[in-house]
Structure 1
Amino acid sequence: MSSTSCSACLDPLAGLPSANHPPAEAAARWAAVASLSLGVFGLVTAEFLPASLLTAMAADLHVTAGAAGQAVTATALVGAVAAPTIPLLTARFDRKRVLLALTALLLVSNLLAATAGSLSVLLFARVVLGVALGGFWSMAAALAMRLAPERLFPRAMSLVLTGVSIATVCAAPVGAWMGSLWGWRSAFVAAGVVGMLAFVVQLVALPALPPRDQASLKGLRELLARGPVRIALLAVLLVISGHFAGFTYIRPVLEDVTKLPVAAISAVLLGYGIGGFFGNFAGGWLAGHGERYAIVAGSAMIALLAAALLVGGSSTMVTAVAVTLWGFAFGAFPVGFQTWIVRAAPDQAEAAGGLLVAAFQVAIATGAIAGGLIVDRTGALGAPAFAMVAVALGGLLAWRRGPAPAMARA
């Protein structure tokens, strides 16, 4: 294959008539796109595991549930820094090598977590995961554009996000189930196996991906100076911090308020995952009519469901339905916020995506910290109370200052 035809395979604009690109459309590299999806699945699985193992981890490491919940905070804070900085630090390296290095960090993180004898070692493991998570996510969409022609990019990105959907379904319930049978460490061993598989598949399936975009600090500063970008990021901080305050500490609610046995907790968390799986599709459909609608609808649902837990959390039925619908509602946020930020900065979509990942991770950390402090001081129901207020404020901001619906833009 000539160098000209090779570069066309990696060019997201291949197939568009121009002076520099022939009319012929390059074939999509679906195996390579699937390897990105597998990497995303491994990362999101590892990120979500502590929520289903929190009380067991806390008891084994002799710390409070709030302290153990900072395993989520550590990953999120480091991921927030890594998302915009990894592309800067690795700008001259082949993207395949960078992705392989990040996936190797995922494997190392899970092995460290599985063998952690103290909270400090566990937090270090989660710091390593944060580097992998932020770096991988910041480049995933841009690389999907290079692995598929522009016409097929939405399908390629959908395949990448399938890894999130499957992890949403599997991580919490499978982690809780494995933890009840073989201890919480077994779940991280399994996540390490997933990381090893992702590394091998990426090694085989990904082509060479020479660096192309030259990210800069100046470009990030210019983005942050735009009002619509700042509003989108503020909405992310409010909505996602509220969600993760409730989600990270949902197990104490299930154990201490609803008083469910481990088997029932696994079933409820499975309901959350299934709800999230279908919520991803519903959120995508709603965002197609207007990303503001998706975000406001998801926020309103979660605020109402958090209120339902505060009032009727002692009821098994109320809790099971609320947690399942909570997962469904959350599915509207990833596609809604991603569409919002790209439309707010269409000329710098990749850099805007990095800021979005950073905002998500800061929000996750904020939710985990606030939720942990509140739970340790007021009890398990403090987390959904915080979630109700924060998500409602974020939804209100999106409704008042969010982007216009698609028909209005047309």
Structure 2
Amino acid sequence: MTDLRTNETRDKATSRSRAWAGVSAITASLFVFLTTELMPVGLLSPLSTSLHISLGTAGLMVTLQGLAAGVGVVFIVAWTRRLDRRLLLSILLTVLVVGNLVTAISPSFALILATRLLMGFASGVFWAIGVSMAMRLVPKHQASRAAAVVMSGISIATVVGIPLGTILESFVGWRGTFLIWSGLSLLVMLCVIATIPSLRSTNTVPVREVFVLPLRNARLRLVLFAVVFFVLGHFGAYTFVRPFLEQSSSATPVFVTLVLMVFGAGGALGNLAAGHAVRRSLRGTFIVGCVGLVASLLVLLGVGHGQVGTTISLAFWGLSFGIVQLCQVNMTQAAAPETFEAAMSLNTMAYNTSIALGALFGGVLADHIGVTSAMWLGVALTAVALLLAITRNGMFAGAN
């Protein structure tokens, strides 16, 4: 009897370890998807110089991938709703491996944009299914913890991934950087295959029903509006942070790398703090994060000409973004708990389309008025998200 109990205990421990290894593999997947999507932010200047294009045109690498992720996600998630999620994630990572490889060796910017378009479709689907996959791997009472672990991949990407891309560019060039990321994506795909069991889809919502969710669910509709405005503002400014720092404070590539790491570290702290704070007040935590986004951009505009002021503002900006980022996932889940994957596909559509439009609007302003105007765009749009959170209580009804 003792041996039987020992074996049962060992089996349970093995099952838990495998489950959390799967969660870690999904977190690593988020890391490579996000760094691939946002890597041009840290490489914008050398990319534009090498390809003989303007900064605004180079920013289309972010715009097009975000647009594809936003436009295609609802359809692809619905069409693949009966496909095993482990197989689907492996396919998405394969697209990432090939896409980064093609980007590294591409002879033309047109081919790079076409490749980013295809990678955008894969990225959007991952954002819609990744968190729900992680939550299904672990016991129900640990589901929220698994979601928080996966979302920490965002902080890891901003702390390590994007700055690392900037550092690698200085040694191997931007093409070599994308080649390395292709290999890293392959490694993550192998980890997914090795650690994640077969996961049949639990989402049976067809396309036509996904699009009516916001019409039937007023709370989800408000959440999506808030997501749109804070993402438009954040990425409208963040996409052009390197050119802004180079022009306003004559920042060197090394300093840009360091402050991007500071931004990421702030995001990690914000993610951690929000993980505890949302249990007490989701609305209050989201409002605090939005206030921080607006304030940090104003500080950057006011004292961004010096290294100390820049570092402080980027740290505060990252902290605030980490808070808001985790809040919006919790807000989506709370608004549509029974159709979470479908709601997340809408969230992903709104989020990534807003990344694309934010980068596009920021690029137009940067090319025609100056990069400082992209920062002011960020102030204005994140302020709208803040006003929504303050004035629309229905967005958080029953959340805490």
- Provide the TM-score with structure 2 as the length reference: 0.91
The 5-angstrom pairing of residues 18-167 of structure 1 reads 27=16, 29-167=19-157
Q: 1:252 to 1:96 in 2, by over 3 A?
A: same
Whichever structure has more helix as a proportion of its residues is: 2
Deviations 1:116-160 (A, max 9, x none): 232212212211221111111111122223211212212222222
Cα distance in 2 for partners of 1:271, 1:288 equals: 27
- Contact 1:291-1:337 within 8 A present in 2 as well: no
Cα distance in 1 for partners of 2:376, 2:357 equals: 15
User: Which residue in the other structure is 2:312 paired with?
Assistant: 321
Match of 1:391 among 376, 382, 394: 382
Match of 1:304 among 291, 295, 299: 295
The 5-angstrom pairing of residues 180-199 of structure 1 reads 180-199=170-189
Q: 1:277 to 1:145 in 2, by over 3 A?
A: closer
Deviates more, 1:338-347 or 1:388-397: 338-347
Q: 1:390 to 1:223 in 2, by over 3 A?
A: same
Q: 1:126 to 1:279 in 2, by over 3 A?
A: same
1:398, distance to aligned residue in structure 2 (A): 1.1
Q: Does 1:291 align with 2:282?
A: yes
Cα distance in 2 for partners of 1:140, 1:368 equals: 24
1:57, distance to aligned residue in structure 2 (A): 0.4
Cα distance in 1 for partners of 2:393, 2:318 equals: 23
Letter in 1 for 2:101: L
Letter in 2 for 1:154: S
Deviations 1:253-277 (A, max 9, x none): 1111110112111111111111111
The 5-angstrom pairing of residues 140-289 of structure 1 reads 140-225=130-215, 226-289=217-280
- Contact 1:29-1:148 within 8 A present in 2 as well: yes
1:93, distance to aligned residue in structure 2 (A): 2.2
- Contact 2:233-2:377 within 8 A present in 1 as well: yes
Q: Which runs of 5+ in 1 are unaligned?
A: 1-25
Letter in 1 for 2:275: G
Cα distance in 1 for partners of 2:144, 2:399 equals: 20
1:202, distance to aligned residue in structure 2 (A): 1.2
- Contact 2:79-2:207 within 8 A present in 1 as well: no
Letter in 2 for 1:267: L
Q: 1:120 to 1:333 in 2, by over 3 A?
A: same
1:229, distance to aligned residue in structure 2 (A): 1.5
Letter in 2 for 1:139: I
- Contact 2:31-2:161 within 8 A present in 1 as well: no
Cα distance in 2 for partners of 1:209, 1:31 equals: 15
Q: How many correspondences in the alignment?
A: 385
Q: 1:177 to 1:217 in 2, by over 3 A?
A: same
Q: Secondary structure at the match of 1:35?
A: helix
1:219, distance to aligned residue in structure 2 (A): 2.5
1:389, distance to aligned residue in structure 2 (A): 0.5
Q: Which runs of 5+ in 2 are unaligned?
A: 1-14
Cα distance in 2 for partners of 1:223, 1:244 equals: 26
- Contact 2:159-2:265 within 8 A present in 1 as well: yes
Cα distance in 1 for partners of 2:213, 2:354 equals: 19
1:405, distance to aligned residue in structure 2 (A): 6.6
Letter in 1 for 2:357: T
Cα distance in 2 for partners of 1:333, 1:389 equals: 16
Letter in 1 for 2:331: W
Deviations 1:290-328 (A, max 9, x none): 222222212211212212222222222111211121111
Identical counterparts, % of pairs: 30
- Contact 1:290-1:404 within 8 A present in 2 as well: no
Deviations 1:216-268 (A, max 9, x none): 12431331202222111111111111000111000001111110112111111
1:409, distance to aligned residue in structure 2 (A): 5.9
1:66, distance to aligned residue in structure 2 (A): 0.5
RMSD of equivalent CA atoms: 1.9
User: Which residue in the other structure is 1:336 paired with?
Assistant: 327
- Contact 1:87-1:215 within 8 A present in 2 as well: no
Cα distance in 2 for partners of 1:409, 1:285 equals: 14
Deviations 1:24-77 (A, max 9, x none): xx7562222222111111101111211100010011111000110011111111
Q: Secondary structure at the match of 1:183?
A: helix
- Contact 1:238-1:391 within 8 A present in 2 as well: yes
- Contact 1:340-1:403 within 8 A present in 2 as well: no
